[in-house]
C-alpha cells in the first residue's frame, strides 16, 4: 500500500480544520452568533470535508488488500484496532485536559466534579454516536454537560466504518458501484427531506416531533451518507486515474478544485450576510465532494505544487487542533473575563495551535508509557506474538 | 462429570439477588400502616441489579454454545435441549414460588377483606374470584409475558425470565449458524445499537414494561425485551473478552489490579443503586445555569429548566463497569477469585434464585398482615423492612431445602427404578 500522504489534501484538511476551530469562537459571543453577526456562521460544514475524506481513505485502505485475500474476522479486528489507535491516545489526553480545565473554570466542589466525571465518561467510548449522549438544552450556551463537543465526529466515523467494513470486504465491486453511491444518495436525500439543513446540532435526534421512528442522531446519518459518498468518489478517481490528462485539462481541474473549495468556504462566510437559504448547505457539501475528488486524483496542476513535506505535515497535524480547540473555546471567557471577543478569538486560535503541537509531541511518549505499563501487569511471554515483538 | 461452578459469580449472584429483594421492599404499601410518612426505601435503583443477571445469562449462553459446537450438538434438536435445560434450571422453583404467592395473596385478601374478597361478598363470589385468580396464575405460569401474553401479574420479577427465554430463542439459530460472525460482529453491534436506542429514547434502563412504539402508537415490544437482548449480547462480548483474558498470564500486580477493577465495578454498581440515585438531581443544572449567567445573561436561568433524568446516563456507565467486572470474575484471573472457591458460595448461588422469586409473597401481603394483627403502632418502617427481608430470606431457605429434598428423593427413585430395570 502507498503510504505517502497527499499534500493537497493535507493542506485543505488543515484549512477546513482551522475553519471549524474558528467557527467555535461563537462561544465567546453566543448572542452575536445567534444574530448572524458572526464571521463563520456555517463553519460547521467544514466537518463534511473530513467525512468525505474518511470515505476516500477507507476505500483506499480496503483496495490496498489483495483481491484474492478472503475476509476474516481477525482482519476486521486489526482494522478496528488500527482506527482506534489513530485517535484514541490523543483523544484521551485532550479529554482529560479539557475535563480538568472545564471543571476548574466552571465547577468547584468535589461532588459536582464526580457527577460530571461519571456523566461524561460515556464520551470516551468510540460508539457514543450510537445513542449514548446526554444532549444539552441549548447549543449556543454551555448549559448541558459535555466535555468534548466534537467527539461525535470521531465516533460517527468509527461506527460507520465498523459497520460498513464487512459489507465492503464481502463484495468490493458491488459495494463501490452500487451500495456506496445509492446508499449515499438515499441517505443524504432522506436527511434533506427530513431536516432541510445538513448541519445544525448533529447530535439532535432525527425525528424529535413524533418520537416514534428515530434510531439515531442526524450526525450519524450524515457520517454514513458522506463516507459512502467518499467511497463512491474513490471509484470515480480510479476511473480518472486510468486516463491520461492533458495540461489544459489539468489546469481546468485545478480551477474546479480551487473553485469548489472556495465556493464552500465562501458560503460558510457569506451565508447569513447574503441571506442565502440554509438548504444551500447541501450545495456546499457537494462542492466539497468535488474538491476532494479532484484533490485525491492528484491530476490537477496545483496538486504537484502541494506535493511537499510541509503540506503533508499539515495533513497529519490537522487532527490535533480539532481535538484541542474545545478546551479553550469553552473556558477562555471564564479565565479571561475582561477580554473582548476579537482578542479572545486571537488568543483562542493561538492557544489551540500551540496545544495541538504539544499534544502531537506527547502522543508517542504516552503510547510508549501505556505499552511499558502493560509489561508490569502481564507477563510478556503470554502476550500475542506481534505485541511481544 | 461434576460441573465446576465459579464461586465468585455465585457470590455476586447472591449479592445482586439480595439487592433486588431489598429494593422491592418499596412495593409494600407503607401508607396503609403509617399514612403520610415520607420514607426513603433502601436501594432506590436496586432494580438495576437485573443487569448483572442478564450479563451472566449472555456469558453462559456463549459458553454453552461453544461447548455445544465442540460436542457437535448444535442443531434444531440441540436448541430445544438447550432451551429445556435453561428452563429446567429455574422453572420448578418458579412454579413453586408462583403457587405460594398465589396462595398467600388470595388467602390474605380473603382474610383481610381486600378486593376482590370484600366484606359482604357471597361465597359464590369468593369462589368465582378464586377461579379468576387461578386463571391469571395459569397465564403467568406459561412464562410468555414478555412474548406479549401479559396479563395481571403475581410475580412482577418474572419479566426477566420471560425476556431471557424470548431472547435466547431468537438468538440461538443465528449464533449456531455462524458462531464467529455472531461473536465478532452481530453481538457487539446489537449490544451497542440497542443500548444506544434505549439511551436515545429514555436515557434510562428502568421500566421494563414500557411499550416501544413505531409508526404512531403501534407498540412492537417491551423495553425489557430490548434491554434483555442488548445485555445478553453484551454478555456474549464479555465471554469473547474473557477467553482472551484467560490466555494472558498476569503478574501479581496485574492480578491485584484486576481485583481492584472487579471490586470497583461491583462496588460502584451497589453504591450507585443505594446512595447515588438521589444525588443526580436538577441541582447540578441549576448551578451550571447560574455560572452561565455572565455569558448568556438571564436567559441562561430559563434554559436550565426541563432537563429531567439527565443523569440517568450514569446507569449506562454502571452497566459497562458491571460488564468489565463480570468478565474479570468469569476469567478467574483476579487476585480475589480463589477466595470464593468454596462449596458455601456454590450453595449461595443456587439459593439466590429463591428469595428473588419469593419476595412478592411478603411485599404484597406484609402490610395487610401488620394491619390485621394491629402491629402498626408497635413497628417502625425500618423494622417492617427488616422483617420483610428476614421473612423472605428464611422462607426462601425453607422452600429451597424442601425443593432440594424432593428433587433428591425423585432422583434416587429414578435411579432405583433404572437399577431395577437393568437388574
Domain residue limits, chain A: 7-388
**Which residues between 334 and 393 in chain B have a beta carbon less than 8 angstroms from any beta carbon of chain A?**
none
Question: Which band of pLDDT confidence, cut at 50, 70 and 90, is reported for residue B283?
Answer: very low
Q: What is the pLDDT of residues B362-371, one digit of tens each?
A: 998 999 999 8
Pick from A60-64, A115-119, A164-168, B63-67: least confident: A115-119
CB contact under 8 A, A377 and B251: yes
What number is the ipTM of this complex?
0.84
Contact A118 B192 (CB under 8 A): no
Residues from chain A contacting residue B279 (CB–CB below 8 Å): 111, 115
With beta carbons under 8 A apart, name residues in chain A contacting B313: 119, 122, 132, 134
Across the interface, whether the CB atoms of A215 and B287 are under 8 A apart is answered no
From the number of C-beta atoms within 10 Å of its C-beta (0-12, 13-18, 19+), residue B97 rates as: buried
Tens of pLDDT along A272-295? 777 777 778 889 999 999 999 999
Encode pLDDT of B247-272 as tens digits: 999 999 999 999 999 999 999 999 88
Interchain CB distance below 8 Å, B317 and A111: no
Sign of the dihedral through C-alpha B38, B40, B45, B49: negative
d(CA A55, CA A160): 10
Nearest CB partner across the interface for A213, out of B214, B254, B306:
B214
Out of A256-265, B13-22, B41-50, which region has the weakest mean confidence (pLDDT)?
A: B41-50
How does strand B211-214 pair with strand B218-222?
Answer: antiparallel
Identify whether B116 is preceded by a cis peptide bond (ω within 30 of 0): yes
> Of the ranges A212-221, B90-99, B118-127, B273-282, which is most confident?
B90-99
Where along chain B do its domains lie? 7-422
pLDDT greater than 60 at residue A303:
yes
Which of the two residues, A211 and B369, has the higher pLDDT score? B369
Q: Does A299 have pLDDT greater than 50?
A: yes
Asked whether the predicted pLDDT for residue A25 surpasses 50, the reply is yes
Of B213, B248, B279, the CB nearest to A212: B213
Are B181 and A74 contacting, i.e. CB atoms less than 8 angstroms apart?
no
pTM score of the predicted model: 0.87
CB B241 within 8 A of CB B325: no
Residue of B214, B251, B291 with shortest CB distance to A378: B251
Return the pLDDT at B219: 66
Residue B356 and residue B101 in contact, taking contact as beta carbons nearer than 8 Å: no
Instruction: With beta carbons less than 8 A apart as the criterion, state whether A332 and A347 touch.
Output: yes
DSSP B218: E
Overall average pLDDT of the A359-374 stretch:
91
- pLDDT attached to residue A10: 93
Distance of CA B409 to the CA centre of its chain: 30
Confidence of residue A149 (pLDDT cuts 50, 70, 90): confident
What percent of chain B is modeled with pLDDT above 70? Answer: 89
pLDDT value, residue B277? 58
The answer to whether residues A225 and A191 touch, using CB atoms and an 8 Å cutoff, is yes
Helix ranges (H only) for chain A are 7-23, 30-35, 46-63, 73-105, 110-120, 151-170, 172-174, 180-195, 218-241, 247-270, 281-297, 301-306, 309-317, 319-329, 332-335, 341-377, 385-388
**Higher local confidence (pLDDT), B189 or B287:** B189
Q: What pLDDT does B200 receive?
A: 77
- Asked if B221 reaches chain A (Cβ–Cβ under 8 Å), the answer is no
pLDDT (tens digit per residue) in B192-232: 999 988 887 777 888 888 877 665 556 678 889 999 999 99
Task: State the helix-helix crossing angle for B283-296 and A110-120, rounded to 10 degrees.
Answer: 90
Please give the mean pLDDT across all residues of chain A: 84
User: Does B285 contact A383 at a Cβ distance shorter than 8 Å?
Assistant: no
SS3 at position B64: helix
Measure in Å the smallest separation between the Cα of B232 and chain A Cα atoms.
18
Q: Which residues of B touch A144 (CB under 8 A)?
A: 307
pLDDT of residue A206: 55
In the predicted structure, residue A90 carries a pLDDT above the cut 90: yes
Q: How far is B225 from chain A (nearest CA, A)?
A: 17
pLDDT tens string B143-184: 888 888 877 778 888 899 999 999 999 999 999 998 999 999
Q: Which of B181, B249, B307 sits opposite A382 (nearest CB)?
A: B249
Q: How far apart are CA A269 and CA A336, in angstroms?
A: 27
Q: How confident is the model at residue B24 (pLDDT cuts 50, 70, 90)?
A: very high
pLDDT beyond 80 at B61: yes
Mutate to test the interface with B, among A71, A110, A134, A219 (most CBs of B within 10 A): A134
d(CA B269, CA B13): 13
- Residue of B192, B194, B217, B223 for testing the chain A interface, max A β-carbons within 10 Å: B192
Q: Does B292 touch chain A (CB under 8 A)?
A: yes
| Between B234 and A371, residue with greater pLDDT | B234
B7 HSE (CA, 13 A, CB side)? 11
- Give, as one character, the DSSP assignment of residue A33: H
Closest partner residue to A142 (CB to CB) among B214, B284, B295 is B295
Q: What is the pLDDT, as a whole number, of residue B167?
A: 96
Distance between CA atoms of residues A164 and B156, nearest Å: 41
Give A255's pLDDT tier (boundaries 50, 70, 90). very high
Residue A224 has pLDDT above 60, yes or no: yes
Q: Indicate the range of A103-107, A126-130, A137-141 predicted with least confidence.
A: A137-141
Residue A346 has pLDDT above 50, yes or no: yes
Q: Are A131 and B310 in contact (CB < 8 Å)?
A: no
Looking at residue A301, its pLDDT comes to 87
pLDDT at A261: 95
Nearest to B296 among A30, A211, A376 (CB): A30
CA-nearest residue to A75 within chain B is: B184
pLDDT at A342: 85
Q: Is pLDDT of B302 > 50? A: no
Amino acid at each position: 500500500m502507498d503510504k505517502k500522504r497527499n499534500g493537497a489534501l493535507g493542506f485543505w484538511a488543515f484549512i477546513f480544520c482551522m475553519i471549524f476551530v474558528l467557527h467555535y469562537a461563537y462561544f465567546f459571543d453566543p448572542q452575536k452568533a445567534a444574530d448572524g453577526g458572526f464571521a463563520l456562521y456555517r463553519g460547521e460544514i467544514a466537518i463534511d470535508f473530513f467525512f468525505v475524506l474518511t470515505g476516500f481513505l477507507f476505500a483506499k485502505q480496503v483496495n490496498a488488500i489483495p483481491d484474492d485475500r478472503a475476509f476474516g474476522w481477525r482482519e476486521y479486528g486489526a482494522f478496528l484496532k488500527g482506527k482506534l489507535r489513530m485517535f484514541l491516545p490523543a483523544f484521551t489526553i485532550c479529554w482529560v485536559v479539557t475535563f480538568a480545565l472545564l471543571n476548574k473554570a466552571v465547577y468547584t466542589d468535589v461532588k459536582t466534579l464526580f457527577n460530571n466525571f461519571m456523566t461524561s465518561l460515556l464520551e470516551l467510548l468510540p460508539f457514543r454516536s450510537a445513542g449514548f449522549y446526554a444532549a444539552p438544552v441549548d447549543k449556543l450556551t454551555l448549559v448541558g454537560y459535555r466535555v468534548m463537543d466534537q467527539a461525535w465526529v470521531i465516533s460517527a466515523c468509527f461506527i460507520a466504518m465498523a459497520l460498513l467494513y464487512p459489507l465492503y470486504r464481502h463484495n468490493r465491486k458491488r459495494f463501490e458501484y452500487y451500495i456506496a453511491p445509492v446508499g449515499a444518495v438515499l441517505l443524504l436525500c432522506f436527511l434533506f427531506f427530513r431536516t432541510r439543513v445538513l448541519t445544525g446540532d448533529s447530535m439532535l435526534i432525527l425525528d424529535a416531533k413524533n418520537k416514534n421512528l428515530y434510531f439515531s442522531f442526524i450526525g450519524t446519518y450524515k457520517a454514513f451518507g458522506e463516507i459512502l459518498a467518499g467511497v463512491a468518489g474513490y471509484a470515480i478517481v480510479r476511473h480518472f486515474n486510468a486516463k491520461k490528462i492533458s495540461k489544459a485539462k489539468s489546469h481546468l481541474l485545478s480551477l474546479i478544485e480551487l473553485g469548489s473549495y472556495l465556493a464552500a468556504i465562501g458560503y460558510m462566510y457569506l451565508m447569513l450576510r447574503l441571506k442565502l437559504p440554509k438548504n444551500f448547505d447541501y450545495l456546499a457539501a457537494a462542492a466539497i465532494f468535488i474538491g476532494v475528488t479532484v484533490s485525491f486524483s492528484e491530476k490537477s496542476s496545483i496538486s504537484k505544487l502541494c506535493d511537499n513535506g510541509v503540506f503533508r505535515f499539515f495533513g497529519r497535524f490537522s487532527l490535533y487542533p480539532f481535538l484541542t480547540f474545545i478546551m479553550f473555546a469553552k473556558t477562555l471567557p471564564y479565565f479571561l473575563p475582561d477580554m473582548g471577543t476579537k482578542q479572545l478569538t486571537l488568543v483562542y486560535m493561538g492557544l489551540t495551535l500551540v496545544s495541538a503541537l504539544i499534544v502531537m509531541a506527547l502522543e508517542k511518549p504516552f503510547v510508549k508509557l501505556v505499552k511499558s505499563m502493560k509489561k508490569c501487569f502481564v507477563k510478556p511471554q503470554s502476550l500475542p506474538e506481534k505485541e511481544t515483538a | 462429570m461434576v460441573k465446576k461452578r465459579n464461586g465468585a459469580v455465585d457470590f455476586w449472584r447472591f449479592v445482586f439477588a439480595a439487592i433486588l429483594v431489598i429494593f422491592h421492599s418499596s412495593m409494600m404499601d407503607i401508607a396503609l400502616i403509617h399514612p403520610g410518612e415520607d420514607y426513603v426505601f433502601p436501594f432506590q435503583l436496586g432494580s438495576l441489579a437485573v443487569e448483572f443477571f442478564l450479563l451472566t445469562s449472555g456469558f453462559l449462553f456463549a459458553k454453552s454454545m461453544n461447548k455445544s459446537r465442540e460436542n457437535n450438538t448444535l442443531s434444531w434438536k440441540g436448541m430445544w435441549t438447550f432451551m429445556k435445560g435453561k428452563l429446567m434450571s429455574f422453572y420448578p422453583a418458579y412454579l413453586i414460588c408462583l403457587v405460594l404467592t398465589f396462595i398467600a395473596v388470595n388467602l390474605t385478601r380473603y382474610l383481610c377483606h381486600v378486593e376482590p374478597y370484600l366484606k359482604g361478598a357471597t361465597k359464590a363470589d369468593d369462589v368465582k374470584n378464586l377461579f379468576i385468580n387461578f386463571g391469571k396464575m395459569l397465564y403467568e405460569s406459561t412464562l410468555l409475558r414478555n412474548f406479549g401474553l401479559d396479563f395481571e401479574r403475581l410475580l412482577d420479577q418474572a419479566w426477566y425470565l420471560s425476556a431471557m427465554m424470548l431472547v435466547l430463542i431468537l438468538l440461538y439459530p443465528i449464533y449456531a449458524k455462524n458462531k464467529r460472525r455472531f461473536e465478532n460482529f452481530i453481538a457487539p453491534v446489537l449490544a451497542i445499537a440497542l443500548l444506544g436506542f434505549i439511551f436515545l429514547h429514555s436515557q434510562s434502563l428502568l421500566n421494563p414494561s414500557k411499550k416501544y412504539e413505531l409508526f404512531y402508537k403501534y407498540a412492537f415490544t417491551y423495553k425489557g425485551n430490548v434491554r434483555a437482548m442488548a445485555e445478553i449480547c453484551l454478555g456474549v462480548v464479555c465471554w469473547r473478552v474473557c477467553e482472551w483474558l484467560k490466555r494472558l498470564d498476569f503478574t501479581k500486580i496485574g492480578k491485584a489490579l484486576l481485583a481492584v477493577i472487579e471490586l470497583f465495578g461491583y462496588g460502584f454498581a451497589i453504591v450507585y443503586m443505594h446512595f447515588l440515585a438521589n444525588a443526580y438531581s436538577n441541582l447540578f443544572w441549576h448551578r451550571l445555569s447560574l455560572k452561565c449567567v455572565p455569558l448568556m445573561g438571564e436567559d441562561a436561568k430559563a434554559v436550565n429548566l426541563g432537563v429531567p433524568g439527565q443523569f440517568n446516563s450514569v446507569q449506562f456507565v454502571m452497566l459497562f463497569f458491571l460488564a468489565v467486572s463480570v468478565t474479570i470474575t468469569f476469567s478467574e484471573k483476579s487476585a480475589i477469585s480463589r477466595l470464593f472457591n468454596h462449596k458455601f458460595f456454590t450453595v449461595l448461588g443456587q439459593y439466590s434464585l429463591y428469595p428473588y422469586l419469593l419476595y412478592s409473597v411478603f411485599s404484597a401481603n406484609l402490610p395487610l398482615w401488620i394491619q390485621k394483627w394491629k402491629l402498626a403502632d408497635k413497628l417502625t418502617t425500618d423494622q417492617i423492612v427488616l422483617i420483610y427481608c428476614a421473612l423472605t430470606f428464611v422462607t426462601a431457605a425453607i422452600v429451597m431445602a424442601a425443593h432440594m429434598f424432593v428433587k433428591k428423593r425423585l432422583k434416587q427413585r429414578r435411579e432405583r427404578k433404572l437399577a431395577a430395570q437393568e437388574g
